[in-house]
Amino acid sequence: MLTAQEGRTRMLLGAGTDTITDDCTLEQKFAEFRRLNLDFVEVPLRSSDASAQAETFRALAAAHGLAIASAVVAEFVRLPDVPEAERTDAVRRIADTARIAVDLGCDLVLIPVRVKPEEPERAEIYAKGYAELLAATEQHGTVIAAEFVGGALPADAASLVQTVDDPRARLFFDIGNCLYAGADPVSDLQALLPLVAQVHLKGGPDTPLAAMPLRELHDVLRSGGFAGRCALEIESPKGRQSLRDAVSVLRMYGLWTPAREGNTEHAA
């Protein structure tokens, strides 16, 4: 598990295993993370096979000397669409998955939310499930961070977080999703930074990562004393080169400095 002190001394950078490319195996992805000396890995967990997934991730992390620090439980986003009679079981499965993430070493679980002001009933359902997840992980001190998806605005996700009223309820800020929602990643990040636990770094619908306002975002994080982490989401057909390019861009803008230089030899 990564400590707050580590976060204060240097920005920590990780990458998600399901957002690099599909042309690499998990083994190749973990090997690439290690060669680039990323600080942690973010993994997806599905309630249908979370235990088996966790064992695979655990073995790969141990083999490559990497920490698994955050997990994504994507099925939470569909909670308001689950029939009311089935919703209790759905939340229970998600909570069980969150506990598996904790056992895997995660101190943060990401739950995506698609909430908008014109749909208050969705926010109410999310808030109830959110509170149950927090209660299920209370003894572990796990952060449960809501990420705005599907065109939801950062401020609306932040309102949901504040409604839950728990210090472990935080915001997962995705700079690319801001563009999908028509929001300004710089001004919104600045306004919401006290709630932010982790940041997703990626481009928008027609904007590559290198064209995002990275210098301004870095200034916001630095001036705000951000002590959280950043994770790359790369969706590209270029294979591992896209991850290397993204890391180079972040280093150029001062968003990340590796703890030590990695191996310059990369597997084909």
Q: How far is CA 226 from CA 229, 254, 255, in A?
A: 8, 14, 12
Identify the bridge partners of residue 200 per DSSP, sorted by sequence position. Answer: 174, 231
pLDDT band at 143 (very low <50, low <70, confident <90, very high): very high
Mean pLDDT of 248-265: 77
- Cβ neighbour number for residue 150 with a 10 Å cutoff: 13
pLDDT band at 23 (very low <50, low <70, confident <90, very high): confident
DSSP H helices in 150-239: 154-164, 175-180, 185-192, 214-223
Q: Do residues 230 and 201 touch, judged by C-beta distance below 8 A?
A: yes
Question: Is the confidence at residue 233, as pLDDT, over 80?
Answer: yes
pLDDT on residue 10: 78
pLDDT at 81 over 50: yes
Instruction: Tell me what percent of the residues of the chain surpass a pLDDT of 70.
Output: 90
Say if residue 5's pLDDT is above 80. Answer: no
CA Rg value for the chain: 18
- Predicted confidence at residue 226, as pLDDT, reads 94
Output the average pLDDT for the chain: 90
Which of 22-36, 98-112, 226-240 is predicted most confidently?
98-112
pLDDT tens sequence across 158-169: 999 999 989 999
Angle separating helix axes 240-252 and 26-35, nearest 10 degrees: 30
Output 75 or 241, whichever has higher pLDDT. Answer: 75
pLDDT at 37 over 70: yes
Please tell me the distance from the alpha carbon of residue 4 to that of residue 6, in angstroms, as a whole number: 5
**Helix H or strand E segment including 246:** helix 240-252
Q: Residue 268: pLDDT above 80?
A: no
Q: CB–CB of 30/58 below 8 Å?
A: no
Q: Does the pLDDT of residue 114 top 70, yes or no?
A: yes
β-pair partners for 171: 146, 196
pLDDT at 259: 85
Q: Who's near 98: CB < 8 A, 6+ residues apart?
A: 71, 73, 109, 133, 136, 137, 142, 144
Question: What pLDDT score does 239 carry?
Answer: 59
